[in-house]
């Protein structure tokens, strides 16, 4: 008998891009594509843009978060930090167990800000090393 899957994806919550020219990228996404600035966390080097129901996060590679990803995009540096999947429901311990049982390190559950506000999430890696954030729906306790 197989265990019920505790993961049911609702939507992509946000995409995070590492950038070298934050002002130019803001202008492109806001002035050309119609996004709007939602939140600016200057101490992190993070500018969060509203894109419909989702967010596009721009991380300055020279900022606190950006330096954690290494060099700017190129052969030795990533441009995308991670993408986030908003789940329809979030039972943290069940999700951690489910992932662990499948040989995936579920990471710790932490309160993070996303397109629908602050809530619990965790990070995992896919088989090729891409980081995926699994995020709770709005109003979910940790």
Per-residue pLDDT, 129: 79
In a domain, residue 142? The reply is no
Residue 65, SS3? helix
Average pLDDT of 21-36? 91
Give the residue numbers spanning the domain of 66. 9-135
Start-end of H helices in the chain: 22-27, 64-67, 92-101
Average pLDDT of 108-115? 93
pLDDT at residue 1 tops 60: no
Number of H helices, E strands in the chain: 3, 8
The rounded distance, in Å, linking the Cα atoms of 136 and 14 is 13
In a domain, residue 2? The reply is no
User: What does the pLDDT look like over 49-99, one tens digit per residue?
Assistant: 999 889 999 999 999 988 888 777 776 777 788 989 888 889 999 999 999
- 134 bridge partner residues: 85, 122
Task: State pTM to two decimals.
Answer: 0.73
Phi-psi region of 81 (alpha: psi -120 to 50; beta: other; left: phi over 0): alpha
In this structure, what CATH number is given to the domain that contains residue 49?
A: 3.10.180.10
In a domain, residue 1? The reply is no
In a domain, residue 140? The reply is no
Average pLDDT of 18-36? 91
Q: How many domains does the chain have?
A: 1
Q: Which two tokens stand for residue 112?
A: 């993070």
In a domain, residue 47? The reply is yes
Residue 6's alpha-carbon distances to 3, 102, 125, 137, in angstroms, are 9, 13, 18, 13
Per-residue pLDDT, 93: 95
């Amino acid at each position: 008998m197989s265990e019920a899957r505790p993961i049911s994806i609702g939507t992509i919550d946000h995409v995070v891009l590492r950038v070298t020219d934050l002002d130019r990228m803001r202008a492109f996404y806001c002035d050309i594509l119609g996004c709007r600035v939602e939140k600016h966390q200057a101490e992190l080097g993070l500018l969060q843009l509203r894109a419909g129901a989702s967010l596009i996060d721009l991380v300055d590679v020279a900022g606190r978060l950006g330096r954690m990803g290494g060099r700017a995009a190129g052969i030795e540096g990533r441009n995308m930090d991670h993408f986030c999947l908003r789940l329809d429901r979030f039972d943290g311990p069940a999700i951690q167990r489910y992932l662990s049982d499948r040989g995936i390190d579920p990471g710790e559950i932490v309160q993070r800000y996303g397109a629908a506000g602050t809530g619990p999430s965790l990070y995992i890696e896919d088989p090729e090393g891409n980081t995926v954030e699994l995020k709770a729906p709005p109003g979910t306790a940790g």
